[in-house]
Structure 1
Amino acid sequence: MNLAGYAISDAIALPERTDYGIGVIGCGGIVNYAHLPAYRRAGFRVVACYDQHPDAAQRTAKEHGIPQVATSIAEVLDNPEVDIVDIAVTPWAQAAIARDALAAGKHVLCQKPLADTYASAVHLVELAHARNLKLAVNQQMRWDAGIAVAKQLIDQGAVGIPADSRIETSIRTPWHMWPWMANSPRLEIMYHSIHYQDALRYLCGDPVAVSSLHARWPGQPEAGETRTLTTFIYDDDRRVAIDVNHHNWSEDAYARFRLLGNEGIIEGTLGLLYDYPTGRVDTLRYASRTAPSVWHEAALSTWWIPDAFVGPMASLMTAVQTGGEPLTSGRDNLGTLQTVFAAYRSAAEGRVVPLAEITAAAS
């Protein structure tokens, strides 16, 4: 596909070999409407599943044709057909399962956040490295069509330096779908804007500091913050802003991104957030500085759910084959977690927080 002379594609690249055995631990909603439909489309082989609620595992296995319903996590890890463990459990349970999976010699795909402390995340990364295993994090927004194509345009120089980049969402989020999440004292950034912070790191590079303001909505039932305004600060002319509200009751909801550089501009919408979890296809348009009134529209065709969920698993499989690192490796994800924990410290202490503070605390 061509856009204003630049080669773009929202197709997700698959590895040469796709028959690695996948064992899924956790059979909740997101696994059933995102992970497993994506894996089926890609031709991935899921060989086992487990859930702490046996009925959930049985239903998932029946719906998605999974041959083994394990009665314990150990049973999944002992299965010689399982090469990769896809962990999809509550965050406080994830780290221990990941450690056990790595100890069993399995490659691991974790969900975000990788861990609830930076030190715990570093430990998982070091453990995977010591065992020569691959650890990836399911930051699948990087494969969402609008973000993926924006990255391709940036890499080809279409915008020049992305000096003013932002994601702005004002939506009504159905937190009731995840009661444990709604009860978390850390909510919006830890479980939602972590995607934006990861995507903007991917598009614009790593900041040196973060500033963040957090607020609630009047009378909200959720325990944690549901409105945030976060800024990435760089050591040059780049700036990133993320402005989020999850309590927009009006009909004027929006979820959009804009990347303004010294040579061009990219604008788009995040289709998933207009009707979660069904969503719609993203939009993206581009204009150059030399012809600012001429907009070029990309004909995007893939969806965040389920299509983008192919990306992290495909990237992990590629890393297993080549000996390289997944795009969203655990080590890379430490950079995203630095921005997350810096944002919470910034909001709590009312100041700009250098990322070096977060890394120093874990050393």
Structure 2
Amino acid sequence: MSTANSLIYPLPCKHDYGIGIVGAGGIVNYAHLPAYRKAGLNIIGICDINENAVRNSAQKWEIPFSTTDYRELLKRNDIQIIDIAIPNEGRVDIVKEAVAAGKHILIQKPFAHQIEQAEEMVRSASEHGVRLAVNQNARFAPFYRKAKEIIDSGILGELYLMTHEMRINQDEALAGTWFAKVPNFLLVDYEIHHLDLMRFWSGSTPERVYTSGTRMPGQHIQSDMTVLTTMEFASGLRASLITVDTLQSNQAFWSFTVEGTKGSLYGRISHDYTVFELDYYTKDNPGQWTRVTPPGRWFVDAFYGSMFELMNAIQENREPSISGRDNLETLRLLHSMIRSTEKKMIVSVE
């Protein structure tokens, strides 16, 4: 059972949907399952092609049913939501079979490596009348979501500049894993959080983008692990992303800024997500900075936040705010950034 008072997002009116999880890897055990247990959600079954992984996860989290065949989850009438957290390969077939079985879907970012695959999954979910949500969990990280609330309140005025910077080092930790061989790994797996945040905060998608990457000499992962991006929006708004994933000091951090015609918002997050500072200043309150400290952490509160949004969308018969259809815009932006790195030029987002 959940401890409702410890949750930073309210439980959906109906939250006993049966959940079947496809994937028993690190993100499921480190984030999905702790989040769902904290929220008291109804986890019916789990699947992974790795028999040891799925057995160990089922035992650790006391999940009553486990299997190496995802179709066994789809057959169960007590499962209404399929939570997909596996690498890109095989996702389309699972989604198409799941929605044909009447299951709603929450699928880990990145939604798909190819836009055509994402469009196919969106189309299939729509044809079968079920909800498809993409787990862009940064939108539910408490500090990022609080920033969105402050922006939407209007106290900063019209936005004209947003920045986001991340400096960490996963190069050695991920060497030898499947992540190390993913083309454009940093853009596809990490920067997709930050570029989606620019869409989330601004409520729009940029028109043009320029992205440039580089490698630290001697790094292990094959793709560029340092990436710089500039985004141009139709309104005149500009955004900048700086992402370094080969940091050689012990001062890892995330930081962001938002500049508006009436004020500024600055945020900084520690490498382990446990310490964050969120300060804003407005012309309406001159000479005084205001610090806000929203409760909760990215891991694990953001992960039940994504699931709650899907559950609420099902009950309210609406598209989730993190719908697959909305995420097509995030993927178009991502692929435009990749195209920019390849062409070494500014490109239109299309």
Q: Do the structures match in fold with TM over 0.5?
A: yes
Q: Aligned residue for 1:6?
A: none
Q: How does 1:348-363 map to 2 (within 5 A)?
A: 348-356=342-350
Secondary structure (helix, strand or coil) at the match of 1:231 reads strand
- Residue among 11, 25, 49 paired with 1:52: 49
C-alpha change, 1:175 and 1:138, in structure 2 (3 Å) is: farther
Structural RMSD (CA): 1.5
Aligned counterpart in structure 1 of residue 190 of structure 2, from 189, 192, 196: 192
Match of 2:167 in 1: 170
By how many angstroms is 1:248 displaced? 1.0
Q: 1:112 aligns with which of 109, 112, 117?
A: 109
Higher deviation after alignment, 166-175 or 303-312: 166-175
In structure 2, distance between residues paired with 1:161 and 1:242: 20
The residue that corresponds to 2:330 in the other structure is 336
What's the offset of the Cα at 1:69?
A: 1.1
Q: Distance in 2 between matches of 1:304 and 1:171?
A: 16
CA offsets 1:36-80 (integer angstroms, 9 cap, x no match): 111111121100001111111111111112111124111011111
Counterpart in 2 of 1:225?
224
CA contact (8 A) 2:118 2:328 kept: yes
Question: Which of the numbers 122, 142, 148 marks the counterpart of 1:151?
Answer: 148
Deviation at 1:251, TM superposition (A): 2.5
Separation in 1, partners of 2:180, 2:228: 19
TM-score, normalised by the number of residues in structure 1: 0.91
How far 1:171 sits from its partner (Å)? 1.5
Which whole-Å deviations, capped at 9, do the CAs of 1:125-177 have from their partners, x for residues lacking one? Answer: 11111111110111000011111111111111021112110101122125634
Secondary structure of 1:92's match?
coil
1:294 aligns with 2:288: yes
**1:211-256 CA distance string (max 9 Å, x none):** 1111111111101111111122111220111111111111233210
- Paired amino acid for 1:64: W
Aligned equivalent of 1:121: 118
Paired letter, 1:283: E
Does 1:103 find its partner at 2:103?
no
Contact 2:232-2:239 within 8 A present in 1 as well: yes
Contact 2:11 2:308 in 1 (8 A): yes
Distance 1:33 1:339 in 2: 28
CA distance in 2, matches of 1:226, 1:246: 5
Change (3 A) 1:93 1:242: same
**In the alignment, which residue of structure 1 is the partner of 2:256?**
257
Question: In percent, how many aligned pairs have the same letter?
Answer: 34
Q: Is there any run of 5+ residues in structure 1 with no aligned partner, and where?
A: 1-9, 357-363
Q: Distance in 1 between matches of 2:275 and 2:98?
A: 35
- SS of the equivalent of 2:333 reads helix
Distance 2:30 2:253 in 1: 23
Letter in 2 for 1:196: H
Counterpart CA distance in 1 for 2:68 and 2:191 is 35
1:32 aligns with 2:29: yes
Counterpart in the other structure of 1:3: none
Measured after TM superposition, the shift of residue 281 of structure 1 is: 4.0
Using the size of structure 2 for normalisation, the TM-score is 0.94
